[in-house]
Amino acid sequence: MKYRKLGNTDIALSALGLGCMSMNHAYGEPDDNESIATLEKALELGINFWDTADIYANGANEELVAKVLKPNRQKIFIATKFGFELNTKGKYTAFNGSPAYLKKAVEDSLRRLQTDVIDLYYAHRIDPNVPVEEMVGAMADLVKEGKVRYLGLSEASANSVRRAHAVHPISALQSEYSLLTREVEAEILPVCKELGISFIPFSPLARGLVTNTLDVSTLKDGDFRKSLPRFQEEHAENNRGLTQEFAELAAGKNCSAAQLAIAWVLAQGENIIPIPGTKRRKYLIENAGAVDVNITADDLAKIEVLLKKYPNTGERYSEANNKFVDKN
């Protein structure tokens, strides 16, 4: 495994992190035994940067991760997030970034993770009803109290990042970034580079779409992806063509489409640490191989030509999800 620095710190994080959400939240059927084996395999591979959140499976994701985190605490840099609130039907329909909510949320996460400190604590979104300075000020208090080591934001605008960073150093910003989701290139990536913030892309495989192994028609009821525009029929032909040709490019480099897609993300900056999610060892091992794929200028040019050939990929979020993304 190769390693990259967290923000302006000397913390060495695996160049590829592990997103834990899909282990028991949003995608398919949970398999706790395989998920635990995947977490243990991540340690073997040197993947020390793990990502979860309090909302994933209503806290059960943190509890699952804790089964491997607790006995290996010094080997793992654990990140979790706070802010989403569930309604009576178990759906997250509101975001709460208030200091009062934060104080309770962090204690709950510490208990579920069975640790006395969270390495990286993210605000899962930006609360339009709470000034970002107030929220980050309360998060900074957790650092002073020793409950949190470093602070992060998720799906925040460049303006919010600057305002937050002025209150307390922001070490990481997490947002979606992949071959099919590139909005962050306009403002987010430049501001992260300017301020010395690690950019943490989630869904670098476009939720499995760019692997050329996903049959959208087989997604089961309850799979989060069924609600997303780019998984709908009107984009199916475009995305089949794109992923098939991308897989051919990967084959020409003797790697899988997943490995080439992750390698492309890694090539966009040394401060970028993608966190592809999986609950299976075979995909974890495959993803880890992406750090050894060499992306050339010619490769990048060919990929750009291919993306322009298939522009009708679809939006990344539905309206319901998009309303939580900070655009101010």
- What's the full length of the chain, in residues? 328
Amino acid 86: pLDDT: 75
Q: Which residues of the chain have pLDDT under 70?
A: 26-27, 87-92, 212, 214-227, 229, 316-324, 326
Amino acid 154: pLDDT: 96
pLDDT in tens, 103-150: 999 999 999 999 999 999 999 999 999 999 999 999 999 999 999 999
What is the C-alpha radius of gyration for the chain, rounded to an integer number of angstroms?
A: 19
Q: Where are the domains of the chain?
A: 3-205+264-293
* Amino acid, res. 181: T
Nearest to 256 by CA among 246, 241, 268: 246
Is residue 188 within 8 Å of residue 173, measured between CB atoms? Answer: yes
Amino acid 270: pLDDT: 97
Q: What is the CATH number of domain 3-205+264-293?
A: 3.20.20.100
Q: Which residue of the set 27, 56, 177, 310 is catalytic?
A: 56
* Amino acid, res. 111: R
Cα dihedral sign for 86, 87, 92, 94?
negative
Q: Which residues touch 274 (CB under 8 Å, ≥6 apart)? A: 16, 17, 177, 200, 201, 202, 204, 262, 265, 266
Amino acid 296: pLDDT: 96
**Residue written as token pair 């510490």:** 110
| CA 252 to the chain's CA centroid | 28
Q: How many CB atoms lie within 10 A of CB 17?
A: 25
Amino acid 234: pLDDT: 76
Whether 56 is a known active-site residue: answer: yes
Is residue 290 within 8 Å of residue 16, measured between CB atoms? Answer: yes
